[in-house]
Amino acid sequence: MILPIDKYIYRIYNEHMNRCSYLGGVFMSCENASCSCHCHEEENHLLMILRLGFGAIIFLIALLLKNNPLFIISYLILGYDVIINAVKNIRHIFNEHFLMTIATFAAFILGEFPEACCVMLFYQIGEFLSDYAQDKAKDSIGALMDLRCDRASLLMDGTFKSVPSEDVRIGSIIRILPGEKVPLDGIIKKGGTYFDTKALTGESVPKFFKEGDTVLSGYIAGDSVIEMEVTKEYADSTASKILALLQDEKKANSEKFITRFAKIYTPIVVFLAVLIAVLPLLFGADYHIWLYRAILFLVVSCPCALVVSVPLSFFSGVGCASSKGILVKGAYILEKAAKIKNFAFDKTGTLTDGQFCVRSVKSENLSDDELLKYCAHCEFYSSHPIASAIKDAYGKEIDESLISDYREVPGKGTTAYVNSHKIAIGSADFLKISGGEKNSVYVSIDNEFAGSIKISDMLKPETENAISKLKLLGISSVILTGDSEKNTKEISNILKIPFYSSLLPKDKVTKIDELKKSGITAFAGDGINDAPVLSMADVGVSMGKIGQDAAIESSDVVLTTDNLEKLPVLVRIARKTMRIVYENIILSILVKIAVMVLGVFGLASIWLAVFADVGVLILAVINSLRAFLAGD
| Residues taking part in catalysis | 346
3-state secondary structure of 266: helix
C-alpha dist (Å) from residue 3 to 89, 110, 150, 245, 498: 20, 38, 20, 19, 47
Residue 197 CA to residue 441 CA, distance in Å, equals: 40
Cα 4 from chain centroid? 18
- Please classify residue 157 by burial: count the beta carbons closer than 10 Å to its beta carbon, then call 0-12 exposed, 13-18 middle and 19+ buried: exposed
Q: Which of 329, 302, 311, 301 has the alpha carbon at shortest distance from 254? A: 311
Q: Which of 43, 3, 39 has the alpha carbon at shortest distance from 19? A: 3
What contacts 181, CB < 8 A, 6 or more positions away? 147, 148, 149, 217, 218, 219, 220, 221
DSSP string, 203-260: --S-EEE-TT-EE-TT-EE-SS-EEEEE-S-GGGSHHHHHHHHHT--PPPHHHHHHHH
| Cα angle 250-255-260, degrees, rounded to a multiple of 5 | 110
What are the φ and ψ backbone dihedral angles of 92, each rounded to 5 degrees? -100, 70
C-alpha dist (Å) from residue 487 to 31, 44, 103, 346, 483: 54, 64, 72, 13, 7
- Strand pairing report for 226-230 and 476-480: unpaired
Amino acid identity of residue 625, one-letter, is L
Q: Which of 241, 276, 281, 297 has the alpha carbon at shortest distance from 102? A: 297
β partners of residue 214: 187
Yes or no: say if 423 and 416 are a contact pair by the CB < 8 Å rule. yes
What are the φ and ψ backbone dihedral angles of 20, each rounded to 5 degrees? -70, 150
